[in-house]
Amino acid sequence: AQTVTQSQPEMSVQEAETVTLSCTYDTSESDYYLFWYKQPPSRQMILVIRQEAYKQQNATENRFSVNFQKAAKSFSLKISDSQLGDAAMYFCAYRSGGAQKLVFGQGTRLTINP
């Protein structure tokens, strides 16, 4: 079974600085997708960024980018120019190409210091 590990329960960063959240996963499959979801205090799950495993190019969405290291099974999220609104729980998630469910990591709580 696939597993997703987020080794940082909590992280903090000064406003306007850059922070990187770590995620590793374990799978024997070659076809899969990876996601980062943000969960603010409102509890809503918001998609931040997604990556197809077969693509070597790292995904970017404005201030959010990933460092996808397929051989190392690592999928970290970099947030540049951190803003107060970025404060939230961040979940890394894995989805097999042949399955219809997400496997989530334990989450990382990100605090932004003004």
Binding site for other proteins (CB under 8 A): 33, 35, 37, 39, 42-47, 50, 52, 89, 91, 95, 97, 100-102, 104, 106-107
Specify the residue, 40 or 84, whose C-beta has the smaller distance to other proteins.
40
What is the smallest separation between the CB atom of 54 and other proteins, expressed in angstroms?
A: 10
Whole-angstrom distance, CA of residue 68 vs CA of residue 53:
8
Give residue 70's identity as a one-letter amino acid code.
Answer: K
Specify the residue, 37 or 76, whose C-beta has the smaller distance to other proteins.
37
Q: DSSP letter for 98, please.
A: T
**Judging by beta carbons within 10 Å of its beta carbon (0-12, 13-18, 19+), is residue 1 exposed, middle or buried?**
exposed
Bridge partners, 34 (sequence order): 51, 94
Specify the residue, 17 or 26, whose C-beta has the smaller distance to other proteins.
26
Specify the residue, 35 or 68, whose C-beta has the smaller distance to other proteins.
35
Residue 20 contacts residue 69 (beta carbons within 8 Å): no
What is the smallest separation between the CB atom of 95 and other proteins, expressed in angstroms?
A: 6
Tokens standing for residue 81: 């120019």
What is the smallest separation between the CB atom of 107 and other proteins, expressed in angstroms?
A: 5
What is the smallest separation between the CB atom of 3 and other proteins, expressed in angstroms?
A: 12
